[in-house]
Amino acid sequence: MPDSATPPSAALASMPLFPLSTVLFPGALLPLQLFELRYLQMIGECERQSTGFGVVTLTQGREVHRPGAAAERFEPIGTRVQIERIERPQAGLVMVWCRGVERFQIQSTEQRSDGLWRGQVQALPPEPSLPVPEHLQHLSGQMHAALQNLSAQASEVPHWNEAWRLQDCSWLSNRYGELLPLPLAMKYRLFALQEPMLRLELIGDLVAPTSDDAANGKPPANS
């Protein structure tokens, strides 16, 4: 992991890290099926202590550890999650529904003997609330139709647990980052941007503003 200087006043927190081949945007729901011993122990600890963990994006290695496989490496910015539901359908299997809460920057990491990663992390500042500009209003309309369709699908936990902020650049761009079928590296670049207006501008370049799609209630499509 790259070293980065931490300001003296920055508050660091220690948390378990879960490397995955995905990018988790704040506000997004992440269902997980856990069976590796390290993650079963992690969830047990989180449950007892009423804490969450951090999801980070893999750049090397696999989600499930295999002997002889390449060592896990992951991106320096991740997402702290809160656990919303836990089920244990059978011995050795745990179903977990997590919600992305906030981005963080990793300052240092260590790997326990059981393979679980822990990190000293610093929460990134909350993104400002910026109105969606006129030339990107089509993104709000397309996303509204997509969210209506997705929310109608059955789910153990609500897809989104808050009011839709379709006129907020940060919230809207996070939903596009969550839902668009983009390559992992591109998703992470959007995720790591700390300028919501710029993120939404870049998304606007990817999404074709078609009036027919909006009228028919189709979800946003990758151009």
Q: For residue 209, what pLDDT is reported? A: 58
Q: For residue 222, what pLDDT is reported? A: 44
Q: For residue 158, what pLDDT is reported? A: 87
Q: For residue 10, what pLDDT is reported? A: 58
pLDDT tens series, the chain, 223 aa: 444 444 444 589 999 999 999 999 999 999 999 999 999 999 999 999 999 999 999 999 888 877 777 889 999 999 999 999 999 999 999 999 999 999 999 999 999 998 999 999 999 999 999 999 999 999 999 999 999 999 988 888 888 888 999 999 999 999 999 999 999 999 999 999 999 999 999 999 998 755 444 444 444 444 3
Q: For residue 65, what pLDDT is reported? A: 76
pTM over 0.75: yes
Q: For residue 196, what pLDDT is reported? A: 97
Domains present along the chain, CATH in parentheses: 13-123 (2.30.130.40), 134-216 (1.10.4060.10)
Q: For residue 68, what pLDDT is reported? A: 74
Determine the distance from the C-alpha atom of residue 116 to the mean position of all C-alpha atoms in its chain, rounded to a whole number.
19
